[in-house]
Amino acid sequence: MIMTNQRTTRWASYLAVAAGVLYNSWLLGYWLNPAVARHGLASELEAVHQPYNWLFTAADVVSSGFVLLVCWLLWRRRSAAVLASAAIFAAGTVADALLPMHCNPSLQRCPSFRVDHLLLVHGIFSIMAAAALFISLALLWWHDRKSTMLNGLMVGYVLFGFFSVLEALTPASGNWSQHYYLLLCGVWLALLPAAVWRSLKE
């Protein structure tokens, strides 16, 4: 039975919100692994031998699975580039989660990527996923620059760049800019169906 547009939109919205929430499972780190959550990167929560690493890994994988389902439910020729970018984000996030770090830079001195080649691969997938998710937003924003929602998200990305520079100048401040970025990504994932359907109606 073919889903109606209304039913498809509803399911895609539910899945997208769930994906955004699960993508920010790192928030649980403040209770389950505070030593890493307060000073380390979110990826360090999934590192080998870290407590509850399986939970954070599973959350990323399930979140990515939901994103892929959203892309499948919303697939239309006009939105192909946007949804393909979101799907690449999901695939990169799965690869990133299933190739965890073997050392936590926030807790110990780690070998460089020249020695630990897995760290390099982990980093490549992480950057690929981040770039693809931004591209999905940028493509929609370029198509609909009058959208208050999309303009707000683009401003959010600009602020992330500013925060990253600010944090680089104050290295003792922790990783709050990354935490802001992950929350921003979660919001975009949750809003993806609404943004895509708006673009299709125009």
Q: Is the pLDDT of residue 2 over 50?
A: no
Q: Is the pLDDT of residue 147 over 70?
A: yes
- Residue 189: its pLDDT value, please? 98
- Residue 3: its pLDDT value, please? 42
Map residue 98 onto helix, strand or coil: helix
Mean pLDDT of 36-46: 87
Q: Is the pLDDT of residue 111 over 60?
A: no
The answer to whether the beta carbons of residues 24 and 181 sit under 8 Å apart is: no
Q: Is the pLDDT of residue 157 over 50?
A: yes
Torsion angle, CA of 35/37/39/40, rounded to 10 degrees? 110
> What does the pLDDT look like over 6-30, one tens digit per residue?
788 889 999 999 999 999 999 999 9
Closest CA to 40 of 32, 53, 29: 29
Rg of the chain (C-alpha set) = 17
Closest CA to 67 of 148, 132, 5, 124: 132
Min mean pLDDT across 34-38, 60-64, 179-183 is at 34-38
**Chain-centre distance of CA 133, in angstroms?**
7
**What Å distances lie between residue 75 and 8, 68, 93, 162, 196, CA to CA?**
11, 10, 20, 34, 9
- Start-to-end CA distance of the chain, whole Å, equals 27
Q: Is the pLDDT of residue 198 over 70?
A: yes
Mean pLDDT of 135-148: 94
Quote the CA–CA distance of 143 and 139 in Å, as a whole number.
6
- Residue 48: its pLDDT value, please? 87
Q: Is the pLDDT of residue 105 over 80?
A: no
Task: Give 123's pLDDT tier (boundaries 50, 70, 90).
Answer: confident
The answer to whether the beta carbons of residues 122 and 96 sit under 8 Å apart is: yes
